[in-house]
Every structure is written in C-alpha cells, then in structure tokens.
Structure 1
Amino acid sequence: MTLLNGITVLDFSQFLAGPSCALRLADLGARVIKIERPAVGDSSRHLVLKKQKVGSDSLLFHTINRNKESIALNLKDPKDKETTLELIKKADVLIENNRPGVMKKLGLDYDTVKQLNPKLIYGTVTGYGISASLAAKPGQDLLAQSLSGLTFLNGNADQPPTPFALSVADSFAGIHLAEGILSCLIRRNKTNTGGLVEVSLLESAISLQFEVLTSYFNDGQKLPERSNFNNAHAYLAAPYGIYQTKDGYLSIAMGSLNLLGQLIGLPQLSEYEKETLAFTSRDEIKQQIAEKLVSKTTDEWAAILLSGGYWAAPVYNWQELIKQAGFKALNFDIQLTTPEGSVHTTGCPIRVNGSRNPAAKPAPLLDQDHDKIMNELGGSTNE
C-alpha cells in the first residue's frame, strides 16, 4: 500500500508490541528503519520458538519485522549518537518500548528530541503506564494479562484463571499505538506539530475487556460467575458456547432457545425461553444441548442450524482452516524469500478500495541498510 508513502518511522523497539505497530505502518506504506544494537540487534532475533530459525535469526523476528530496514547504532557512542539525532531530525515518527527512563538517560526522550524536530510523533509502549507502583515490574504479556483480570474470564467455573494462548496484550498495545500515531499524523497535517503517544500493555488488556468491565461497573461491582459447563462468556446466557459433536466441535452463539429446540429436536428448551432462566439455568440447558449434539457431525449440525437462521460455526484447527475456500479467497498468507531461507507468514489484514499490496520485503539482516542510510545522511559508511 502507498497510504503512508513519504512517512519515515524510526523503530527503536524490540520484541512484539512496538515492532508490530511499526510493521503495520510499514504495511501501509511508511518507510520503517529499525535502530538496533550493534552485534546483538533486536532481542527477538534471538527469541526462538520451537527451534524455528531462518539463518541466524529467529522465525519470530521475521514474523513482525518484514518491510523494514536495519541500521546498527551504539546509542552511548558519541558518533553513533550524532547519527541517531540526524535521523530523528528527518523522521516523522519514533517508536520505542524501552524500560521507563532508559530513553531519558540516553537523551532521546520526547521532551529532548522534540526540540530537534517539533513535528515528530513519538510513540512509546510501557508495561503498565504511569503507575509508579508498577513501573519496576517487567513489561511482559503474560504478566499484563494476569494483572488486568483478563485471565479470570477464561475457562469453566471450576478451572483456574487461564491466559489466552497468544500475546494479546502485546498485540493490542501495538494496535492502539498505531491508532494514536495515525491520529497524530492527521492532526499534524492541520497544526504542523507532533505529539507524544503513550500506551501500555496493562491498559490495552483492560481496554480489551470494555464490554464486560462496563457490565461489572454497572452491576454493583459483583464479580460475574463463569458457567460450570462450556463457559464462553461470563455475562451471556445459554446456549452461548462450544459443543462437542460426533466428529469435532461446533460453536453456537446467542439466540432463541425455542427456535434452537425446534431445530435440534429438544422442544423442552422452550421452557427456558425467559431471559432469566436462560441465564440462571445455563449449565442445565447447555448439558441438554451437549448430549444432543454428539449424535451428529459438525457439518450436519451446522447445516441444520444455519439453514434455520441460527448463528453457529464449525470450530477449526489451523490444518482445517487453511483448507477452507473462504481462507484461500482471502489470499492472506504470503511467502517471503530471504538470503538465508524462505518464510511463510501472514500479511496485512487491511484492504483499501478492495485491495491490499501483496508485495513484501523480508525482515532485514542486522545492519543491512547501514551504508544506504549513512549515504542519505551524507555521512561515511562502515569501515
């Protein structure tokens, strides 16, 4: 895409939240330059999942750093510091997710660099925002999920708090940071001034729960009770949940219990049609539905429910997902070719005017673009 052509982003961040924000800006056409530590680089280059590497770097690094350039600079070295400041003078956006106070010690905090570039939009990600009591805690996804109350929602009532099995706090912090940066870019077009955009893993994880937290705040602050059976939403009545079938699983969303009973052959469900019974007796209702659904396959039940206008869907694993015509039609996964191997990954989820740019560059090698960037600054290249 070319929506952000002409916008230069300096990505000082590591791991997932900051780099995922920079990735989305790159997908939208911005030029993103990673500022990395000499010899080491972004720490996620070395964070290997299931022994998956592409050349010397982890597959994880490639996942969230495509379409970027790389220059290695020692921010404590006077010469490299001067190069960094020159880059900041010319940049539109700076992204960082260092520990609180690190950028200030380096003389690269917002109050300092905005004197060099008043138009700069400065995006920062912390673990827990402005709370002094949490500032020293490690800003990590599982910890943020735990502190936010998010893990309390998952699982059945008799199960312990269960985290989401992916980095939701990191991912949503990256999304929220991108939203703030893009909003500041719009304002800058009108006012010619930049701004400081701040997000945290904790606030993003809390924001993700806006629906249920609002219910809690307005219900006398009584904790919700998860279903004992097939819990999928602490505040929703039966039949909401995932059910085992003869050969797999089927998700069923909210709807009339009377209609559901007619479709699956459980006429007694009409007795629970009142909203209060649908909630207070949800475990009893779900048990009856579960006992019925194991009699047919997922596809058979899906056809029955969907033809009757009831909201339901098969539950796919990834092997099943990628075989679906709907997934193939999205053309969502991409192949990247690097000097050290190929990477099969996901693309940008945003379409504009019905299309998105499928072209993508692989993640850069450490310091890959040093000479080019130095030449653009009019400075010397690597010796």
Structure 2
Amino acid sequence: MGNRNKRSLALNLKDPRAIDIVMSLLPQVDVVAENYRPGVMEQLGLGYEALKAVKPDIIYASGSGFGPDGPYASRPGQDLIIQAMSGIATITGTRQDGPRAVGVSVVDHHGAALYANGILTALFNRERTGEGCRVDVSLLAAALDLQQESLTCFLNGDGHDEVRQAGRVSGWYFPAPYGIYATADGFIALSLSPLDIIYQILEIPEKERIPAKRAFDEQREISGLLERRLAQDTTAHWLPLFERHHVWHTSVNDYAQVVADPQVRHLKSFETVEGATGTPVTLVNHPVRYNGSAPAIRTPPPQLGAHTIDILSGMGMNRPMIDSLLADGVIGVAKDAEAVAADAAKGGVA
C-alpha cells in the first residue's frame, strides 16, 4: 500500500543460495529492516551479529509484536491483539458498550513511524561516529507510546480508575463537552471550548446548566444535556453558530467527504497514477512537504519480484544463472518479468 518509489526483489530465504545473494548485496546496503518473529533471522543466518561481521556499520532494524526477548517474545503480535492488551480498545470504548478497537490499524502505523524514526536516528549517529546499530521497535511499546498522555494522567492522577469514555465525551481524561454528538442529520465534533459559550449557542436554560467547574466530574450528565439539544436541529444549522463564536468544532466526515474536502484537495493528499499492472491506482500521498512540495510518486507499489531480474543483473549475474535460480524457486519474479525471462530463454529480447 505504501511501497511507493521502491523496487522489489523476491528471494526464498530458506535456500542457501538466496542467503548468498543477500550477503552479496550487503556491502551496498545501509539498512536491513525485518519484522520476523524473534529468532527467525538468526535461524536463517541473517541475524544482527552475522550481518555485522560482514558490514560492521550496518543499521539493523527489527520490528516485532513484543520485543526481541521477554515472556511474550514468541507470541504473535498483530494490531488488534495489541490494541486489546495495551488499553487502547478500553479507552476507545464506552462505559455502556465496553471496549472497541480504533477503526484503523493505528498501532501498526505508529509502530512503523517509530521504526522509521529509529532508523533515521541510527543513521544520523553513524554519520557522527561511524558506528552501526541495532534498532528494536515493538508494537506493544508503540501502543503504550500512543497513550503517553492518557497513561501519564492515569499514573499520576488522583486514583481515577474508570478510563472508558463517559457519554459522548471522547476520552476519559477530558472534560465535557469534548466529544462527538449527533445532530438531526449528521454528527458534530466539539473540541476544547468554553462550556458557557456552548450553553449560550444551544440556548440551554440557565436552570439546566451544570457549572463548567464540574465539567470533568459530570462528563456524562453534561454531554447528555448537549446531545439532546444538538439532535433537535441539523448540522448546517449548528455549524455557522459555532463558527461565529469561535468554538473549536467540525462536522464529522465519512470517506467520500474526506476525499471531497477542500483542504484535503488543496494538500493533494491523494494522487492517481498508473499502477503496476497498468490499471490506475489512487494512493495516499507522502504526508511531509520539503520546500513546499511532497516527494513525487515516481513508481507505484510494485508487484512482488518486479525488479528481481534487474537487481540480479546489476550485481553481475548472467541470464543463465538467473534462469536457473528461477527454475529452482530460489528467486521470484512478477508475472510480467517472468514473461520477459521466458522470452529470453527462447532466444527473445530481454
């Protein structure tokens, strides 16, 4: 999905000849990144110590569910499992309905970002010291890092032991009205804004207003009060009122509305390019701008093994050897590349 601007070499690492290919490539490599379960790379002969012996300044990055050692090291780690055991599903759920997972593989994504940052830090250190490094990132640590604010409040608070969301409030450690509320025809998110101003906008009678100083202790009651009033009119009715009073708010978008959003379109967050099979594919663009521009999508995510032949040829391997490795299942190529290889074997142009 995110493999923009990459090449793909497919190897059967259970075959010693594939390991030889890896070792031949190693002098040209800055970073080795792997996410097998702990111990698998060592069994293949591709552990950190083995690669470090060949290239002492290698940056060796390992991603796993629970880290390289410890009581859970051999367990399978996957986003939903980690959300459940790390507390994310609990704090995303409600007191009424119980735990609920986030609607995206949030731990995988954050773990990948930490993984990339760890690699960059190690590369920077190598530029200064000449030393290689092993980088370890686990999904469990990534999930806890995502909850740094919430966990810090929990660990240092006054013993608050209920961390599920109350009423419409989105987060146990936020005061009302912070949350998402239904209108007559949609939903509105209300962020950190003065409760008294929101009471005024919604025309809540004075006798019904719960003082702002109790906005944390009475989250459920306050959010219920706002929920009932907001449901009496449309999103289009409420939005300009919140805008006029500078309340932090937004309507809640579905994916079609996200794609059509003016700011999303201005940022060019989606880009359609010709896919690896010739069919157009729309990708999420690189999120960072450099001197005002995002890096260009030079190539779409490739098919597995799309560049196997090119890479091995670039290493100086001749065609008969490549064909032999392909026939033995040591390497893999994409279908188009396989057709090219077949033509070459028949005397065609490769």
TM-score interval (norm. to shorter): 0.7 to 0.9
Match of 1:344 in 2: 282
Bigger drift between 191-200 and 214-223 goes to 214-223
Matched-pair contact (CA < 8 Å) for 2:58–2:132: yes
Distance 1:269 1:282 in 2: 18
Distance 1:260 1:226 in 2: 24
Q: Once the 2 structures are TM-superposed, how far is the Cα of residue 371 of structure 1 from its aligned partner? A: 2.3
Match of 2:239 among 293, 298, 302: 302
Aligned residue for 2:8, secondary structure, equals strand
- The verdict on how the C-alpha distance between 1:72 and 1:322 changes in structure 2, with shifts beyond 3 A counting, is closer
Letter in 1 for 2:77: G
Any runs of at least 4 consecutive aligned residues in structure 1 with deviations exceeding 4 A, and if so which?
none
Match of 1:376 in 2: 314
Deviations along 1:207-263, one digit per CA (max 9) or x if unpaired, are 100001001110255423434411311011111111111221000012221111122
Match of 1:286 in 2: 223
Q: Once the 2 structures are TM-superposed, how far is the Cα of residue 163 of structure 1 from its aligned partner? A: 0.8
Aligned residue for 1:350, secondary structure, equals coil
Q: How does 1:73-112 map to 2 (within 5 A)?
A: 73-112=11-50
- The answer to whether residue 12 in structure 2 is matched with residue 70 in structure 1 is no
Deviations along 1:49-81, one digit per CA (max 9) or x if unpaired, are xxxxxxxxxxxxxx1323211112222323221
Matched-pair contact (CA < 8 Å) for 2:178–2:191: yes
Query: What is the alpha-carbon root mean square deviation over aligned residues?
Result: 1.8
TM-score, normalised by the number of residues in structure 1: 0.79
Deviations along 1:32-63, one digit per CA (max 9) or x if unpaired, are xxxxxxxxxxxxxxxxxxxxxxxxxxxxxxx1
Q: Once the 2 structures are TM-superposed, how far is the Cα of residue 375 of structure 1 from its aligned partner? A: 2.5
Aligned residue for 1:100, secondary structure, equals coil
Aligned residue for 1:198, secondary structure, equals strand
Aligned residue for 2:9, secondary structure, equals strand
Any unmatched runs of 5+ in structure 2? 324-350
Distance 1:226 1:71 in 2: 46
Deviations along 1:176-226, one digit per CA (max 9) or x if unpaired, are 000011111111111122211110111101110000100111025542343
Distance 1:166 1:269 in 2: 42
Matched-pair contact (CA < 8 Å) for 1:252–1:313: yes
Q: How does 1:197-236 map to 2 (within 5 A)?
A: 197-219=135-157, 222-236=160-174
Deviations along 1:85-130, one digit per CA (max 9) or x if unpaired, are 0112210111100011000011111111011112211111010114
Matched-pair contact (CA < 8 Å) for 2:67–2:73: yes
- The answer to whether residue 122 in structure 2 is matched with residue 184 in structure 1 is yes
Match of 1:156 in 2: 94
Structure index of larger Rg: 2
Match of 2:181 in 1: 243
Number of aligned pairs?
A: 320
Deviations along 1:333-372, one digit per CA (max 9) or x if unpaired, are 1113123522112111111111112333122223221222
Match of 2:340 in 1: none
Match of 1:320 in 2: 257
Aligned residue for 2:7, secondary structure, equals strand
Matched-pair contact (CA < 8 Å) for 1:110–1:122: yes
Match of 2:191 among 248, 253, 256: 253
Matched-pair contact (CA < 8 Å) for 2:169–2:176: no
Letter in 2 for 1:138: P
Any unmatched runs of 5+ in structure 1? 1-62
Distance 1:269 1:193 in 2: 68
Distance 1:310 1:280 in 2: 22
Match of 2:336 in 1: none
Matched-pair contact (CA < 8 Å) for 2:196–2:212: no
Percent identity for Structure 1 against Structure 2: 32
Matched-pair contact (CA < 8 Å) for 2:126–2:132: yes
- The verdict on how the C-alpha distance between 1:271 and 1:348 changes in structure 2, with shifts beyond 3 A counting, is same
- The verdict on how the C-alpha distance between 1:221 and 1:104 changes in structure 2, with shifts beyond 3 A counting, is farther
Distance 2:160 2:182 in 1: 31
Matched-pair contact (CA < 8 Å) for 1:99–1:126: yes
Matched-pair contact (CA < 8 Å) for 2:60–2:135: yes
Match of 1:60 in 2: none
Match of 2:268 in 1: 331
Matched-pair contact (CA < 8 Å) for 2:180–2:189: yes
Match of 1:3 in 2: none
Letter in 2 for 1:239: P
Letter in 2 for 1:157: R
TM-score, normalised by the number of residues in structure 2: 0.86
Letter in 1 for 2:169: N
Distance 2:169 2:211 in 1: 19
Letter in 1 for 2:302: P
Q: Once the 2 structures are TM-superposed, how far is the Cα of residue 270 of structure 1 from its aligned partner? A: 9.0
Matched-pair contact (CA < 8 Å) for 1:156–1:231: no
Matched-pair contact (CA < 8 Å) for 1:252–1:311: yes
Match of 1:363 among 301, 313, 320: 301
Matched-pair contact (CA < 8 Å) for 2:162–2:172: yes
Aligned residue for 2:302, secondary structure, equals coil
Q: Once the 2 structures are TM-superposed, how far is the Cα of residue 159 of structure 1 from its aligned partner? A: 1.2
- The answer to whether residue 106 in structure 2 is matched with residue 168 in structure 1 is yes
Aligned residue for 1:280, secondary structure, equals coil
